[in-house]
Structure 1
Amino acid sequence: MSSQPVHHHNGPLIPMPELTWPALRRAVATVAPGRLPEIFEDMQQAFVQAAQESSVGPIRMFHFKWGVIVAIERDPECAVRFHAAEKTFNTTADDGEQQAALMEIADIWQTAEREVKALVPG
């Protein structure tokens, strides 16, 4: 009889990356490889929008958004809670359960935003 090893994750899998395209791409490849097509598509849209607006704002927003996603995904326990809440929100018809799931999503997202804001100079 063989048993699978139990892996306990106490905290993030990787350090929080810099908010740059190469660092975020590497981080996503590590913590959420299934989201690589999404980050590439978002990056392309951000650069197109930046060119249309003659502004770096869309690129900064791209970096911030993906910084938040990485902040969530790099912590396995946090990611599990986030995705469970998303699933509940998207699949339940119960208003109370949907509201609780939405509050969990918002709480996790806001916590990750604070982590990312701490990386932004100024």
Structure 2
Amino acid sequence: MSTQAEHGHQLVPRPEQTPDALRAALAVIAPGRLPEMQRTKDEAFAKAVEWQSLSPVRGWVLTWARDIEIARRPDLAARHARAKHRLEHEDPTVAREALRELSTVLDEAMKAVRA
């Protein structure tokens, strides 16, 4: 596992991008999502067999690495939760800003796990 100090407080170190390491990290920071992780893993592996391609598996790894990156960093987790909460705001300007912020958070997390 690796960490990067510039992101401040982290609940767990950034896990390696393997199914076991991702599962172990998720078990610490968001254990309630473990069934979802297993279900989406099964779906990704089934698609990989069907498509004869590892693309669905790689997509699964990146999606969970990104979600774990958000959950393990309280700064990103707070921004993510706040943006998701405001997506359904009655003021369209607030909702649009929330969508932009959610996209920014997702992009920041993805860049971190691809670094």
2:114 is aligned to: 117
| Distance across 2 between alignment mates of 1:80 and 1:60 | 27
Is it true that 1:103 corresponds to 2:93 in the alignment?
no
Q: Which has the larger radius of gyration?
A: 1
Give structure 2 stretches of 5+ with no counterpart.
1-7
Consecutive unaligned residues of structure 1, counting only runs of 5 or more, are 1-9
Does residue 63 (structure 1) correspond to residue 38 (structure 2)? The answer is no
* Cα distance in 1, alignment partners of residues 104 and 29 from structure 2: 21
Runs of 4+ off more than 6 Å: none
- Specify which of 38, 47, 50 is matched with residue 49 of structure 1: 47
Q: Which of 81, 84, 87 matches 2:82?
A: 84
Residues of 1 paired with 2:27 and 2:113: CA distance?
19
**Structure that is richer in helix per residue:** 2
Deviation at 1:80, TM superposition (A): 1.6
Offset of residue 77 of structure 1: 2.4
TM-score, normalised to structure 2's length? Answer: 0.89
Once residues 33 and 96 of structure 1 are traced to their aligned partners in structure 2, the CA distance between those partners, rounded to angstroms, is 35
CA distance in structure 2 between the partners assigned to 1:117 and 1:77 by the alignment: 19
Residue 93 (structure 1) aligned with residue 86 (structure 2): no
Name the CA distance, whole Å, in 2 between partners of 1:56 and 1:66. Answer: 16
TM, length-normalised to structure 1: 0.84
The superposition leaves residues 93-115 of structure 1 with CA deviations (integer Å, 9 ceiling, x where unpaired) of: 21111011111111111111111
**Residue 68 (structure 1) shift:** 0.3
Corresponding position of 1:20? 18
